[in-house]
Amino acid sequence: MIDANILIVDDDRDVLLAARMLLKQHYQNVRVEADPAQIPGLMATRFYDAILLDMNFTGPGDEGEEGFYWLEEIRRINPDSSVIFITAFGDLEKAVAAIKRGAVDFVVKPWQNEKLLATVAAAVRLSQSRRQLQQVQDRESRLAQDLDRPFSEIVGTSPAIRAVFETIRKVAPTEANVLISGENGTGKELVARALHRYSARASEGFIKVDMGALSETLFESELFGHEKGAFTDAKTSRAGRFEIAGGGTLFLDEIGNLSLPLQSKLLTVFQNRKITRVGSNRELDVDIRLICATNVDLPGRVAQGRFRQDLLYRINTVEIILPPLRERGEDIALLAGHYLKQFAQKYQRNITGFAPATLEALARYPWPGNVRELQHAMQRAVILTDGELLQPGDFPFKATSAGEDLRPESLHLETLEKEAIRKALKKNGGNISQTARELGLTRAALYRRMEKFNL
């Protein structure tokens, strides 16, 4: 079964039925429609790899003009969709004219099934090739823009962050394993992506794995892959993250949360540079650039016997330590301005800047959630403010006493997290998948937090 979307548009119900019965045996999604006026609405909700379009909808007096009109509309809406005209034998001259105007081919009624299948298959391949080419061109364009603006995704000019930039410049072109350490919200994934972007592997994949979200039972299947029938739910063979990242970069986030048995399995892979899928005896070579991240003190865990020292040596040929935002005071106003511009544009708000007292308040607040907390605070302020300048009251801070640092109104960040999850669950009617997507979490991570907060 080919993963492609096919649309058949014809006012002859018998043609629709015959074409659908044939094509649905070979393609995952086949949609039929008798009214061509529905084409724009259908294309707005789904991309169609191939569209089979009748040439004459309104009888012999139409002379194919309506078919030509809808061909132009389809090409205007999405030129990557391949259009195949369905025509009668006497309309061959008009079918050739249609190809000159952008159709990829035509089929003559009554058709031969083998001919129709071959024509649709070629149209689908052409459509998918167009999209792949566009993706490559888009990626090259983004890479060129990134090269013109080094580290544009990491905002800051403080000495602490400039030292991080300098380390990235030195380490990125090498194959050295990198460990990124820092508190939650300091931007570890951004640094990992920057290391990949400026490496020799930049044209290959960057694969992230949230190690904290992997259960013991799924660990090997997710990372190393599995063969069909290896366990109850293994209905097909599947490549693991190490295979998918082949030639590129594998980013293991929250590696400090792994149990000792799982650490041992990872160490074996790093030492031998080979993996074995679950349910297979065949070893596969591993070709990845390894970047890991943690928000815990790994040397301290080694001393406690909770993290393998030999694994720590393997993953941190170079360590990049990200400073907390409270140690980057010079960057707070810069970051706030960056997020103000970003969210004002996103929500179409006419907000021009900050009141002087607001910048003072932002500078005095300790930001326990680091850059991520500042980002969320700016998003909230832009959404809720009524003025053109952000005021201190647009942020959930209050001073404990004169001259002291500001503190969040909610005494603990976990309280805010619990309330956000509770509201999202209520909004989505308890739908776990939808709630997880809205909160930017995996299902497993959401389940852990629900259990933690007794929700």
Query: What pLDDT, in 10s, does the model give residues 212-261?
Result: 888 888 898 889 998 888 887 777 888 889 999 999 999 999 999 899 99
CA distance 241 to 220: 10
DSSP bridge pairs for 239: 225
Q: How far apart are the first and last CA of the chain?
A: 41
Number of domains in the chain: 4
Please answer whether residues 372 and 380 qualify as being in contact, where contact means their C-beta atoms are separated by less than 8 angstroms: no
The dihedrals phi and psi of 56, each to the nearest 5 degrees, come to -120, 115
Q: How many CA atoms lie within 13 A of 305 on its CB side?
A: 0
Tell me, what's the pLDDT at 213?
Answer: 83
Cis omega (within 30 of 0) for bond into 110: yes
- Does residue 276 sit in the same domain as residue 340? no
DSSP state, residue 278: B
CA angle 375, 381, 387 (to 5 degrees): 140
- Does residue 38 sit in the same domain as residue 117? yes
Please give the structure tokens belonging to residue 89.
């034998």
Tell me, what's the pLDDT at 228?
Answer: 84
Please report whether residue 137 resides in a domain: no
Segment holding 101, helix H or strand E: none
pLDDT band per the 50, 70, 90 thresholds, residue 411: very low
- Does residue 356 sit in the same domain as residue 399? yes
Tell me, what's the pLDDT at 61?
Answer: 46
Range of 336's domain? Answer: 325-408
Percent of the chain with pLDDT over 90: 53
Of 151 and 238, more confident: 238
Tell me, what's the pLDDT at 375?
Answer: 93
DSSP state, residue 156: -
Cis omega (within 30 of 0) for bond into 173: no
pLDDT band per the 50, 70, 90 thresholds, residue 454: confident
Whether residue 125 is predicted with pLDDT greater than 80 in this model: the reply is yes
Please give the structure tokens belonging to residue 69.
């009109």
- Does residue 288 sit in the same domain as residue 373? no
Query: What pLDDT, in 10s, does the model give residues 343-401?
Result: 999 888 899 999 999 999 999 999 999 999 999 999 999 998 888 999 998 997 754 33
- Does residue 121 sit in the same domain as residue 43? yes
- Does residue 420 sit in the same domain as residue 379? no
Tell me, what's the pLDDT at 307?
Answer: 95
CA distance 317 to 340: 38
CA distance 187 to 191: 7
Shortest CA distance to 275 belongs to which of 239, 241, 224, 216? 224
- Does residue 293 sit in the same domain as residue 367? no
| Burial class of 72 by CB neighbour count within 10 A (0 to 12, 13 to 18, 19+) | exposed
329-346 helix and 370-384 helix, angle to the nearest 10 degrees? 40
Q: Strand 397-399 relative to strand 178-181: parallel, antiparallel, unpaired?
A: unpaired
- Does residue 178 sit in the same domain as residue 281? yes
How many other C-beta atoms are found inside a 10 Å radius of the C-beta of residue 118?
13
The CATH code of the domain that includes 19 is 3.40.50.2300
Q: Strand 397-399 relative to strand 238-239: parallel, antiparallel, unpaired?
A: unpaired
pLDDT band per the 50, 70, 90 thresholds, residue 446: confident
- Does residue 57 sit in the same domain as residue 87? yes
- Does residue 188 sit in the same domain as residue 317? yes
pLDDT band per the 50, 70, 90 thresholds, residue 53: very high
- Does residue 60 sit in the same domain as residue 125? yes
Please give the structure tokens belonging to residue 442.
């995996």
Please report whether residue 145 resides in a domain: no
Please give the structure tokens belonging to residue 379.
């998003």
Please report whether residue 88 resides in a domain: yes
Q: Domain boundary at 321, 353, 371, which?
A: 321
- Report the chain's C-alpha Rg in angstroms: 28
Specify the range with the lowest mean pLDDT, choosing from 10-19, 82-91, 281-290, 299-308: 82-91
pTM of the model: 0.58
Whether residue 416 is predicted with pLDDT greater than 70 in this model: the reply is no
CA distance 158 to 330: 6
Please report whether residue 303 resides in a domain: yes
Of 133 and 289, more confident: 289
Please give the structure tokens belonging to residue 103.
């159709």
Query: What pLDDT, in 10s, does the model give residues 97-107?
Result: 888 888 999 88
The dihedrals phi and psi of 416, each to the nearest 5 degrees, come to -65, -40
